[in-house]
Amino acid sequence: MYQIDFHKPEYLHFIGIGGISMSGLAEILLDAGFRISGSDAKASPLTKSLEDKGATIMIGQAAGNINADINCVVYTAAIHPDNPEWRAAHEMGIPMLTRAELLGELMRNYDTPIAVAGTHGKTTTTSMASHVLMQADMDPTISVGGILPSIGGNIRIGKSQTFITEACEYTNSYHSFLPKIEIILNVDADHLDFFKDIDDIAASFHKFAQILPEDGTLIVSKDFPTYHAVVDGLNCNLVTCSLKEDADYTAADIAFDKNGFASFTCVERGTAIGSFSLKVPGIHNVSNALTVIALARLLKIDAETIRKGILSYTGTDRRFEYKGSLQGATIIDDYAHHPTEIAATLKAAANYPHKKLWVAFQPHTYTRTKALLPEFAEALSLADHVVLAKIYPARETDTLGISSDDLRKLIEERGTKAEYYDTFPALEEYMKSQLSEGDLLITMGAGNIVEVGEDLLKD
C-alpha cells in the first residue's frame, strides 16, 4: 500500500473531495504543504473553503481531471471502477488509496492517534473529547463527522502529536486505521446492506480492536450485549465504562435539570473523582461522557480540567440542535436514524420542556427501514405524534417493496398517531396547521429532513 510521509509533501488528488471526511483530510494535507486537487459533483462551502486554502477544485468528474503529475489518488467508498477518474488513474498506473487507508496513513505521523468507534454517538463523543483536549491545552488535530461550532467546522489542525478522529464501521473501513487508543461506545445492528447480522458486526469491531498494539488501550462500554465478543482475547490494555455494572468508570447520583441535561458523580475504580455536568441532553450522553473521562485520565488530564471541558461542549450541528420557535412551539433537529438513536433522543426529549412531542421523521435507506421496521415503530411510538416523510434513498435504488406508509401503519397499531406525506411542502403545511404554544417538534433523520424545520422557520 502506498505510504504518505508528512515530511515529503506530494501531489494528491481526491475523488469526492467535498465529503465531510475527505475535505478534512485534504485540509490537513494542505496545511502540511501537500499539493491538493479534487473533484465533486457540486460546489459547497467545504469545497470553497479548500479552494481558499489553495486546493484546485473541479466540479464534475472526468478522466481529464487526472494527470501524470499526481503521486496518489484518494477516493471514497462511493467511488467504483466505472468512475472515469478512478479508471483513468488505474490505467495510468497512479497509486490509489481509499479515504480510510489515507486516514490510517495519517495516523502513522502522530504519537497519540485516537479513534472513536461505535454504532451510535461517534460524532458527539469525538466532539466532547475534543473540547476536553483543547481545555487541557493539548492542541489536538481533530477530524469530526459533523460541524463543531467551537472549531468552526469539521477539522482542527493542531501542532501537537495528538490526533482524534471518528472511526466508522461501514464497509469495515476502520480496519485500515492505525490508532494507539480506541473508544468503542456500543455495537448495534446497522448497515445491514453490508453486514450479515449482529454477530458479523461484533466480529468487525473485534477485528478493529485487534489493531491496537500491546501497549495500546481500548476504552469500551460494557453496556451492550455483544461486549464479550468484542473484547475477549485482546492483548491491549482494557479500560471499561458502564452505567449498569461494575467497571473502571461508572456514574452515580445521576440527575437531570429542566432541559434534560444530566449531572453525575464519576467513580473511577471505586473512588469518586468529582461531579460533572453536561450541556447536551439524555442518559446516553452520560455514557458517552464516561468514555471521555476515561480517555482524559489515560492522558493524565486532571478532573477539574475535564469537568470544564465537558461543560463547554454544547453540541454539534444536527445533534439535538435548537433551530428556533414557531407559533410558540420549539423546533429541534436531530440526526438520529437508527431505532436505538431515536429512542435515546426521544427519552432525552421527555426531560425537555414541552406539552406535546411531535416527530417529523425521514427514514434513511430502504435496507435499514425494511430490516428494522418493527424497531423503528417501537422507538417512534415514544412520541405523542409522528409525521413521516418519504424514505431517503442515499446510495440505494431498489425500494425493496418498503415505504414510509408501512411504518405509519405499525406506529398506529401501537396506539401513536401518525401521518405520512410524500412531499416536504405537504408535510410542512400540516405541521403549520397543528403546532401550538408549548409543543416540541423534532425533525429527525440522516437525510435532508432538516429542511422541514428550516422552511417552517422562514415563514
| CA atoms of 136 and 345, how far apart (whole Å) | 30
Neighbours of 267 (CB within 10 A): 18
Question: Looking at residue 171, what DSSP letter applies?
Answer: G
Strand partners, 331: 324, 441
Coil, strand or helix at 326: strand
Answer yes or no: 122 catalytic: yes
Coil, strand or helix at 161: coil
Catalytic residue among 122, 180, 323, 370: 122
Cell of 286: 452520560
Catalytic residue among 47, 112, 119, 123: 123
Answer yes or no: 123 catalytic: yes
Cα separations (Å) of 327 from 257, 288, 385, 387, 434? 25, 34, 17, 18, 10
C-alpha radius of gyration, the chain, whole number: 22
Answer yes or no: 76 catalytic: no
Catalytic residue among 27, 101, 105, 166: 166
Cα separations (Å) of 364 from 173, 290, 293, 330, 361? 20, 29, 32, 24, 9
The 11-15 sheet, strands edge to edge: 56-59, 35-40, 11-15, 72-75, 96-98
| CA atoms of 199 and 222, how far apart (whole Å) | 16
The 385-388 sheet, strands edge to edge: 321-326, 329-334, 440-444, 357-361, 385-388, 417-420
| CA atoms of 114 and 112, how far apart (whole Å) | 6
Buried b (16+ CB within 10 A) or exposed e, 393-412: eeeeeeeeebbbebbbebbe
Amino acid at 427: L
Rounded to 5°, the CA angle 265-287-453 comes to 115
**Which residues are tagged catalytic?**
122-123, 166
